[in-house]
Amino acid sequence: MTIRMTINGEERVYHGDPQDSLLTALRASYRLTGAKDVCGEGFCGACTVHVNGEAVPACLRPVGLLNGAEILTIEGLAPQDTPSALQAAFTEHDVVQCGMCFPGMVMSLTAFLRENPAPKRAEVKTALVGNVCRCTGYERIIDAVMSLQNTEGAQ
Ligand code: FES
Ligand code: FES
């Protein structure tokens, strides 16, 4: 089965097993390793990418269901030397420690902020329910998101 997807703006053809997860395809076939393989079961959010604009755990999406899909990974979110406002806020607030959760957090929050550009603190907390961070604690992450209120948003 041939699966065609657009990944970070480039058309890609996947010739592997349609039961493979999107995470496997991204990491093993396309060397896009920003989405992290942590729990593999949809619990931690470290593998979050956008599929047709929606933030989803790539470990739970069989690639066979993604023919024609638009995929955005952390690598395609912003040019390497120009981080998004959210990425810059994470850096300013010293959010990142081991970094395993960071790409998934950014992808989840980017989708969230697109729909909710001026969220309340409690809403940010709820938006993070699917993303686990074992190092930083969530307060600084939420501080970083809230600091965007007076900027141009997360994009
Ligand atoms: S690796 Fe996908 S949710 Fe944890
Ligand atoms: S920075 Fe280590 S899991 Fe979040």
CATH number at residue 55: 3.10.20.30
Pocket of ligand 2 (CB under 6 A): 96-101, 133-136
Q: Which amino acid is at 135?
A: C
Is residue 69 domain-shared with residue 91, that is, in the same domain?
no
**102 and 142 both lie in a single domain:** yes
pLDDT at 151 over 90: no
pLDDT at 155: 44
Q: What is the mean pLDDT of residues 141-145?
A: 95
Residues 52, 90 share a domain: no
Alpha-carbon gap, residue 36 to 15, rounded angstroms: 22
The domain in which residue 70 lies consists of 3-77
Q: CB count, 10 Å around CB of 147?
A: 16
Q: What is the number of the ligand 1 atom nearest to the C-alpha of 43?
A: 3
State the Cα–Cα distance between residues 22 and 119, nearest whole angstrom. Answer: 30
- Residue with CA closest to ligand 2 atom 3: 133
Residue 154 has pLDDT above 50, yes or no: no
- Say if 142 falls within a structural domain: yes
Domain count within the chain: 2
Q: Are residues 90 and 145 in the same domain?
A: yes
User: Which pLDDT score is estimated for 152?
Assistant: 47
Same domain, 129 and 69: no
Last residue of a domain, one of 33, 50, 77: 77
**pLDDT digits 0-9 by tens, 62-75:** 999 999 999 999 99
Of the three residues 77, 101, 126, the one that is the final residue of a domain is 77
Measured in Å, residue 6 CA sits from the centre of ligand 1 at 22
| Nearest Cα residue to 22 out of 42, 148, 150 | 42
For the segment 17-59, what is each residue's pLDDT rounded down to a tens digit?
999 999 999 999 999 999 999 999 999 999 999 999 999 999 9
Report CA(23)–ligand 2 centroid distance (Å).
Answer: 19
Rounded alpha-carbon distances, angstroms, from residue 10 to 6, 19, 75, 109, 115: 5, 22, 12, 23, 25
